[in-house]
Structure 1
Amino acid sequence: MTRSPLILAGDIGGTKTNLALYRLREAGLELETKRQYASREHADFASIVDHFLDASAIAQIDAACFGIAGPVIGGVCKTTNLPWEIDTRQLQARLETPRVRLLNDLESTAYGMLYLDDVDFVDLNPAAEPGAGNRAVIAAGTGLGEAMLFFDGQGYQPVGSEGGHCDFAPATPLQQELLSWLWERHPAHASTERVLSGPGVYTLYQFLKTKLIAPEPEFMRRLGPDEDPSAKISEGALLHNDPLCRETLALFAAIYGAEAGNLALKTMATGGVYIGGGIAPKILPFLQQYFMESFRAKGRFSPLLAAMPVRVSLNPETALDGAAHFAADNLLGLAE
C-alpha cells in the first residue's frame, strides 16, 4: 500500500459499543477518531457501523477487527447480552475488504494487554517474578470474560473462552450458603457470572442483606428506578464506609481472586494473570486487600499461584486497542 493503512476497530459489549479508526504509521498505530454508541439503542451492529462510516467520511478501510461479548464460531457471533448476530462475510461486503476478523471480546482484551506499558498496571502480587509462559486474562464488567494468551515459545496468541458461564464454585462456608441461595433463584444454572459481574455486585448485596450482617443504608432503601444499584454499592463502600456495602465488595473481591486462581491453573499461567474490565480499577482497594488470599488458596498448588504476577489494567481502551493491534499484526499481510 502506498498510503498508510486505515484500520477499523471495535469493542462491542452489552452496554456500549466503541468504534475507532487507526492509521498504521511507521511508529505504530495512531488513533484518528473514536465514537461510542449505546448498544441497546440499535437494532443491529450493522446500523452502528453505517452511522460511524457516514459520520467519518471514510474512503477505504484496509482492515477491521472487532472484539465481541459472545462466542465467535465460524466467523459468526450471536451476542450473549444483545439480540444481534454479527457475520464476518456481511462485514467484508460492507467494508469492501476481506481483511475482517471477529474476536471474542476477551481475546481482544488479552491481545491489548501485550501493548500496555507498566504505568497502565497495578500489581496485586508485586513480589512475583515475571516469567515466560501462558497468560490468563479475566475481566468482570457487564458480564464475566475469560481468555488465555497462549505462549508458543516466541510470541502470544489469544484464545477465547466462555469460562465466565461455568458453574460457581464456593470456597468458604459463606459462599456455600450463597450457592444454595443462588440455586433457589436460578435452579437451571448458577454460573460464576451471576456473582462476578456488574449485576453480580447487587446480587451479592441482596444475599448479604438476608444474612443481617449490617443494616441496609438509607441511600439503598431509597434507590431510584434509574439508578445503578451496583454503582451505588461501590460508592457506599468507598466513599461512605457503609458496612453492608463494604462486606459486599469484600466478598466480590474474594470470589474474583478465587476464580482468577482457577483460570490460572487451567491455563498454567506462569506468564501471569491479567485483570481487565471496568470494575477492577473502581474497586482497587478491595482487590488489594482480599484478592490474593483467595487467589493463592489452592492447596498443594498454592506456591505455584503465589509465584505468578497478577496485574490490574487501568487502561479502559485495552479491548479496543487490542482489536486494532490484532488487525495490524495479523490481517494487513493477507493477500487480497
Structure 2
Amino acid sequence: MILAGDIGGTKTYLALYQWKQDRVDSVREEKFYNADFESFEEILSEFLNPPEEPIDSDEFEDDPDSEQASGLPDEPIEAACFGVAGPITDNRCRATNLPWVIDGNALASHLRIPKVQLLNDVEAMAHGILVLRPDETELVNGQATPTGTKVLIAPGTGLGESILYWDGDRYHPMASEGGHASFAPTSDLEIDLLRYIRTNFLHVSVERVLSGEGLYLIYQFLRDTKKNEPTWFAEQLPTGNPPALISEAALKGKPEICVQAMELFVAILGSEAGNLALKALSRGGIYLGGGIVPRIVPLLKDKRFTQSFIAKGRFKRLLEALPVHVILNDQAGLLGSASVAAQLARAS
C-alpha cells in the first residue's frame, strides 16, 4: 500500500493506492481544508485514523473483512510521497501559503516507513502528466508527438512551472520557480498593465498576472483605466470569489470588462507558454494545468492564445507545430505523487 498527497495553499488531498506498476484507482481518498488544522500531521492522523461509524452487527456477522469497518485496508504503508506548494530543500518544505513546515524524514518516522518523499506541487503534477490517460488532456494547438522534452505551466493560486527533460529513454521532471521570473509585456496594453502594477510592487513577476489574484488584478486595471465596470457586476464581486466570477462571466460574454480581462489573461498565458517552450525546446509538448485552465478551454481554442503563443519572430514556424495540451484531470498532482511513491515502494 502507498500513501500520496497533494498539499495546496487551501486544500489537501490524500489517497491510498495499491499501486505496483501501472496506474490504478485509489482505495480511499479524502479532501481536507487546511484552515481546519494546525499542522499537516493532524490531517494525516485524521485520514489514517478516521472515527468509526456505527456498524450493524448482523450485517457484518459473517463478513471476514468486518474489522476494516473504518474504511482503511489492513495492509501496511510501504512508501509515501507528498506534493507541497513551496520549494523543497533537503526533503523539507516551508509551505508558501501556509504556516507549516513539512519534513519528509520526520514524517517517515511518524508513519514508521523507510521513506517519505516531498516534491514541489508542480513537480508532482509533472510526474502526473506521465500517467495521464488520453481522454484526460485536450489538444489546443499543434499535433501530438510521442516523445521529447515537455513543459508544464499551471496558473492557479500562484503560477507553477516545470520541465520534463527527455534523455532519450525516460523523462526527468524538474522543479522550477519560473513563475517568479519577471513579467515581460508584449503589447502597449500590457505595458500599461505593468506600469499600473508597479505603483504597488517593485518587482512584477509573471505570477502577479498569471494566477487567480492576477486575473482580478487585470480586471482592476481595466476598471480603473477604462472606466467600464457595470454596477450590477461590481456588487457581485464582494459576495463571491472574484477570479471565478470574472472567468464565468467571460465565458458567458458579459459584462465586456470580464471578456477583456480574460482576453488579456489568455494572451499573457500564451506568451509565457511560448517563452517556456523555447527555453526548454519542448518538442514533446506544452501542458497547461492548474485550477483556472480547465475551466476556460473554449477561450484557449480562440486565436488570441495561439497568436500570443507563436509570436516569437523567426521561431513562429517551430511553435506552430508544437502540441499544447490542457490537463483536464484536476488530480494530476495527486497521481504524480502516487507514481513516485510506487517507485519508492518497488525500490525498497
TM-score range, shorter chain: over 0.9
Amino acid at match of 1:42: F
Please list the CA deviations of residues 237-268 of structure 1 after superposition, one character each: whole Å capped at 9, or x if unmatched. Answer: 12253210000110010111111111111112
1:3 is matched with none
Aligned length: 326
Verify the 8 A CA contact 1:128 1:306 in the aligned structure 2: no
Q: Does structure 2 conserve the Cα–Cα contact (< 8 Å) formed by 1:140 and 1:276?
A: yes
Q: Among 198, 211, 219, which residue is 2:225 paired with?
A: 211
- 1:134-162 per-residue CA deviation (whole Å, 9 max, x = no partner) reads 10011111110000111111111110101
Task: Tell me which stretches of 4 or more aligned residues in structure 1 moved more than 6 Å.
Answer: none
Q: Kindly state the Cα deviation for residue 57 of structure 1 after the two structures are TM-superposed.
A: 4.5
User: SS of the counterpart of 1:244?
Assistant: helix
Residue in structure 2 matching 1:145, options 160, 176, 184: 160
Aligned to 1:319: 333
Deviation at 1:9, TM superposition (A): 0.5
CA contact (8 A) 1:106 1:147 kept: yes
Residue 32 in 1 paired to residue 27 in 2? yes
Find out whether 1:186 has 2:206 as its counterpart. Answer: no
Amino acid at match of 1:268: L
The amino acid of 1:170's aligned partner reads: P
The code of the aligned residue for 1:186 comes to: F
Amino acid at match of 1:73: T
Of 104, 111, 117, 1:101 maps to 117
2:236 match: 223
Where does residue 192 of structure 2 map in the other structure? 177
Q: Write the distance in 2 (CA, Å) between the matches of 1:58 and 1:85.
A: 29
After superposition, residues 258-273 of structure 1 pair within 5 angstroms as 258-273=271-286
1:119 corresponds to 2:114 = no
Counterparts of 2:225 and 2:77, CA distance in 1: 56
Shift in Å, 1:218: 3.1
**Residue in 1 that maps onto 2:318:** 304
More off after superposition, 197-206 vs 217-226: 217-226
Query: Are the counterparts in 2 of residues 131 and 272 from structure 1 also a CA contact under 8 Å?
Result: no
Measured at CA, do residues 26 and 101 of structure 1 come closer, stay the same or move farther in structure 2, by a change above 3 Å? closer
**Whole-angstrom CA distance in 2 between matches of 1:312 and 1:82:** 28
Q: 1:284 aligns with which of 278, 282, 297?
A: 297
Deviates more, 1:226-235 or 1:162-171: 226-235
Contact 2:15 2:26 in 1 (8 A): yes
3-state SS of the aligned residue for 2:148?
Answer: coil
Q: Is contact 2:237–2:245 with CA below 8 Å preserved after alignment?
A: no
The runs of 5 or more residues in structure 1 that have no matched partner are 1-5
- Tell whether 2:61 aligns with 1:47: no
SS for the counterpart of 2:213 is helix
Q: 1:26 & 1:135 partners in 2: Cα distance?
A: 23
CA displacement at 1:306 relative to structure 2: 1.4
Deviations 1:28-66 (A, max 9, x none): 423111111112332221111111111155652111011
Offset at residue 25 of structure 1 (A): 5.2
Structure 2 residue matching 1:30: 3-state secondary structure: coil
Alpha-carbon shift at residue 211 of structure 1 (Å): 2.3
Residues 271 and 46 of structure 1: CA distance in aligned 2, closer, same or farther (over 3 Å) = same
Q: Which one has the largest radius of gyration?
A: 2
5+ residue gaps, structure 2, are: 51-70
Q: Per the alignment, do residues 27 and 234 of structure 1 end up closer, same or farther by CA in structure 2, a change over 3 Å counting?
A: closer
Residue in 2 that maps onto 1:67 = 83
Secondary structure of the residue that 1:254 maps to in structure 2?
Answer: helix
Structure 1 residues 210, 129: closer, same or farther in 2, change over 3 A? same
- TM-score scaled by structure 1? 0.92
